[in-house]
Amino acid sequence: MARFKKIEELLDYQEKEKKEKLRCMYSLCLAYRQALEVLFIRKNAERFIEKLNKMLDLYCECLEESNKMEEPNNTKKSILSARKGGIFGYFALISERPQLVRIVAEEGHELNKLLAGQSFEIQNDEMQYVHEMMMAVANRDCISFNEALNNRIVSIRKFKLDYYMCVDYWSLGLIRYAEQCGMTVDRNKYIEADLDYIGL
């Protein structure tokens, strides 16, 4: 009985260690994301790409570790929420690692549908212009892409100061992908989504 109790205590300890490790990993992932914004503003292209790739690799590790956990906790919920929202998919496009999108964004996410050549609907929500850009890429329509990008930036600039976005990773990722698809788009017209800032 005493031996079984020790085994249980050891298992509890290991489970706590796993949860703590995951929390630290995801905190570091979010710290990388904050660093990216500073590096973007400073136009430090080399370090931006370096940190971007480290963050993507770390987020993939976070997903792998969270899948091993049977019971959900706040950290696991945050990691899965980010996967549902697909933000790391846009980071993967900036980094020219589209193969990661299917890992870091949910299977049914519009990004995965775009990359797979599947149809998707434009949602009338805060991501409407992002979806319009995606639809324009799917149709290889440069004019519609630039119009949606302009509307996206105008809407961002109307955000309250507390929520203001200095860097629009959604637009950056889609601009990068659109160019890879042979489209000519407004890559450096708006400071929030200027690929020249990071030497791309």
Q: What is the pLDDT of residues 101-118, one digit of tens each?
A: 999 999 999 999 999 999
Q: What is the pLDDT of residue 56?
A: 96
Sign of the Cα pseudo-torsion (136, 110, 121, 124, in order)? negative
Residues in the chain: 200
Q: What is the pLDDT of residue 11?
A: 47
The share of the chain scoring above pLDDT 70, in percent, equals: 86
The CA distance from 122 to 133, in Å, is 10
The CA distance from 178 to 176, in Å, is 6
Q: What is the pLDDT of residues 118-128, one digit of tens each?
A: 988 877 677 89
Q: What is the pLDDT of residue 4?
A: 47
- Please list, in sequence order, all residues whose beta carbon lies within 8 angstroms of the beta carbon of residue 164, skipping any fewer than 6 positions away: 156
Q: What is the separation of C-alpha 78 from the centre of its chain, rounded to a whole number of angstroms? A: 13
pLDDT higher than 70, residue 151: yes
The torsion defined by the Cα of 55, 194, 109 and 96, in degrees rounded to 10, comes to -60
State the average pLDDT over residues 137-150.
96
pLDDT higher than 50, residue 39: yes
Residue 19 to residues 71, 115, 162: CA-CA distances in angstroms?
Answer: 10, 33, 31
Closest CA to 115 of 91, 92, 90, 138: 138
Closest CA to 79 of 153, 34, 39, 19: 19
pLDDT higher than 60, residue 1: no
HSE of 183, CA atoms in CB hemisphere, 13 A: 23
Q: What is the pLDDT of residues 152-175, one digit of tens each?
A: 998 888 776 655 557 899 999 999
Q: What is the pLDDT of residue 16?
A: 63
Q: What is the pLDDT of residue 14?
A: 53
Provide the mean pLDDT of the chain.
86
Residue 111 to residues 3, 32, 88, 134, 190: CA-CA distances in angstroms?
Answer: 51, 22, 11, 8, 23
- Please list, in sequence order, all residues whose beta carbon lies within 8 angstroms of the beta carbon of residue 13, skipping any fewer than 6 positions away: none
pLDDT higher than 90, residue 82: yes
pLDDT higher than 50, residue 75: yes
Q: What is the pLDDT of residue 121?
A: 80
**Residue with structure tokens 């997903």?**
63
pLDDT higher than 60, residue 87: yes
